[in-house]
Amino acid sequence: MSKRLFVGGLPYSVTSPQLMDLFSKFGKVISADVISDKYTGQSKGFAFVEMENEKEADEAIKNLNETVIEGSGSDRKIAVNEARPREERPRFENRGGGGSGGPRNNYRRPDRRSRY
């Protein structure tokens, strides 16, 4: 069964193919996805790598955690560990209601009730 790994502290210049090459030294890599900002396209500095089996994934963790990626132009140490499942986020129905907001300006309507 495959195992998904979290890779943090990545230099922003690292690409998915570079990660595949790096992790393939420890076994078959199913996928390597560097997470990037959806508006700018710039790397967010972390990725997910899926290894074919648990033994190969554990070997990659043991050998790559707290290491520097050679040739990246950075001396940042990466963190490699088992990815945790994504937590469920509450949907819209759990949000509290808001107020009506009131008038948008300071103008007060004149009282239309009869004064008699």
CATH number reported for the structural domain that contains residue 12 in this entry: 3.30.70.330
Contacts for 31 with CB less than 8 Å, ≥ 6 apart: 48, 49, 50
* 19 within some domain: yes
Q: Which domain holds residue 24?
A: 3-84
Mean pLDDT, the chain, whole residue set: 87
Task: Round to whole Å and give the CA distance between 12 and 79.
Answer: 14
* 33 within some domain: yes
For residue 105, pLDDT over 70 is answered with no
* 101 within some domain: no
The mean per-residue pLDDT over the stretch 35-59 comes to 97
Contacts for 63 with CB less than 8 Å, ≥ 6 apart: 25, 26
* 92 within some domain: no
Which of 88, 79, 24 lies closest to 46, judged by CA? 79
Q: How many structural domains comprise the chain?
A: 1
Q: Write down the pLDDT at residue 24.
A: 98
Name the pLDDT band for 4 (thresholds 50, 70, 90): very high
Name the pLDDT band for 106 (thresholds 50, 70, 90): low
* 76 within some domain: yes
* 27 within some domain: yes
Least confident span in 62-66, 77-81, 87-91, 98-102: 98-102
* 91 within some domain: no
